[in-house]
Structure 1
Amino acid sequence: MCFTAPSWEHVLVLVMGAVLAPGKRTVSACLRMTGRAEAQNFSSCHQLLNRARWNTHAMARHLLSMVVNRLVPEGPVVIGMDDTIERRWGRRITARGIYRDPVRSSHGHFVKASGLRWLSFMVLTPVPWAGAVKALPVFTLLAPSQRSNLHRGRRHKLLTDWARQGALQLCRWLPDRDIVFVGDSSFAVHELAHAITGRATLISRLRLDANLFAPPPERNARSVGRPAQKGPPLPKLKTLLSDPATPWHRMTVSSWYGRKQGKTLEIASDTALWYRPGTPPKPIRWVLVRDPEGKRAPQAFFSTDTAREPADIIALFVRRWQVEVTFAETRAHLGVETQRQWSDKAIARTTPALLGLYSLISLWACDLLSTTSTPYAAAWYRKTNLTFTDATGSVRLALWAGEVFQHPPPDREPQEIPPDRLVRMAEALCFAA
């Protein structure tokens, strides 16, 4: 058990309130949506986040088990990892820092943002009701800023250090499963690739000027000296782009960033030793991709599993885009960045809980929706694909229906809707915007 009996009652209140609340996901909003606006013990719900003793890692392990058992019963477990900035101000929020705002910045325009940096691990898997791959958060870590660590006298950890620790933790939680970690170029580092060797596979971007080498020559009876770690250097990938002797193969990727028609690409692939001074060479399979239409710049990817097919590497990496979609949907529909805690413990718990709620709603919607469902259908509105908005609406409808439209036994007369429930429904509608 992760909670005591009294704490578990408060957990149910906050979870139900967070699902039903249409605006900010503050504790007070959750209490209002569950009919506890006049409750005198409201401080107990605040204390659940900033004082109660419960383990967020244990909850993450249970959530991971639920998602994997329900949606990935067999085959590799694909986990995307990425960081996001929760924009927050306030001198009492000690873990915050100043970062580049990835949403408002561009290649030629740099925008700073004050906030908290979160590293989230999400299971990238097809969801039945969506008919597509979704990114379901299962484990989220807070990466304090360097200024915060210096102020507390702690050793500062880079984002890749947190990624290494989180990836190893997930490998321990899934000891008998084939795990594939997918990340952008921020996670294409030797330390992370070597740390998960033998436990999981890492797929990420590869620099076009990466140092690639051939395997070392085989030793014989006349070989002297220390065994060589690498062979002769191989041409840079950017050189292969302009080399007419490079063998290109044309292929069509069925799922290319949400395109239904697929995408035709030209690829070149081979194995090599990826080397950086200070770390041993790492065998990888690299995949060089160029767009025949010339609309996209050439890109390179790699996999630490050298036996994996190039088409599989590209298809798994493309799934990573759903991580960005999840971050956007949690802000739009679950109120991430609207919570107002300043306690260190409450901050470390609330945002991972809201991200985990995204996965719970997606799982609950599997019992309420299907690919043929038509929620909110009308003569002028025909939906072809279900979205997270439909999933949230279906779960809210089930909660409201369970409270308001209760079916009494046949031998009893129907009961009227209690006035307090009508008031709660009116408040939910009036303050939805």
Structure 2
Amino acid sequence: MDLTSCFRGRTVLVTGHTGFKGSWLCEWLLLLGARVVGVSLPADPDIDPCYTTPYAHFDQLDLSRRLTAHIEADVRDGAALHEAVRCHRPDFVFHLAAQPLVLRGYREPRWTVETNVIGTLNVLEAVRQAAAPCVVIAITTDKVYANRNWDCAYRETDPLGGHDPYSASKAAAEHVIASYWASFFAPAVQELGIGVAAARGGNVIGGGDWAADRIVPDTLRHLAEGRPVPLRNPGATRPWQHVLELLGGYLHLARSIALSIEAARAGDEAGRRRLEELCSPFNFGPALDSNRSVGELVEEIMRHWPGEIRDASVCGAPKEAGKLNLSIDQAWHVLGWRPQWEFHQTVRETVAWYRAFYTHARGDPSAVQALTQEQIERFTAGMRYDAPAATVGGG
């Protein structure tokens, strides 16, 4: 799969580019030779949960100086998004901006719903009004499903739901995404050349995540400070995957849609059918043996960075799903996408990033860039997104 030929010289707009996943995506796109335009809230620790320490990955990479444009705007501001799209005419949009935390959703439900639903609507409306060829990958979450605590994995056709404000807001955003494709983009694909798909990801981990209320940054923050690691919900299982797995899925999906749009606009009926297949939700998760409990994850982290654990379970704490697994059959069969790093390597690479950061890279943008780029290059060296040969996920 040649991502470089797809993205080199193209303009890519990334919302939420200052966040954990956004900063990794920007760095990868820069390596591919893209012109990257970022739209995000200002870096304010009272607004953005990724700024709970002075080590935000975006700042450590010095990305504000390296992008084509760094725009400070709220995705709830439709006029600001319209202006960004009008000025830069992106070929691709990756919509990552969100209020991404379950527990914060309980504390600030209105802000969560407005950001995640109205923000998504504003992005799609800005692209629609621009009326220029564009691929939009709108990022939601594995938590969009009506969670039954099943042992089997959730498929893209399973009912959406969400018993907490964050999950419900992301499920609502998916309805907005589907309606824009069906109402505006699909009927006029030959004239507009716009494709949109939703990407549902599992719990990503990786270097540079400093957000509160996330198990990996909380664990590594405590280990770096020599304190016991608190475990709030050790029995909860999650589909842990490295951030690069998920971003590789986003990029591959965007490339596949772009190629299908070209074919459909040229009158290729097979390309049109392929585009219909691609402009739909996709799960991106690890193989099933990477669905591990929070307790197992922390124990694996401590194989590489020894420390102590303390029980921090709290009666009456806000509810989080106990079991959550994703089926990745559709990504495997339709895209040829598959996980590259298994659970142990995912944890090893994550801990290695943080240890190198604390040891020598902290406060040195060139060192953080080198550390981040080395992991991207190591990951891409093993990427094999070809025709699938077997099913790796499912229930």
Same fold flag (TM > 0.5): no
Normalised TM-score (structure 2): 0.24
Structure (1 or 2) with the greater strand fraction:
1
- Relative to its length, the structure with more helix (as a share) is 2
Asked which structure has the greater CA Rg, the reply is: 1
TM-score when normalising by structure 1: 0.22
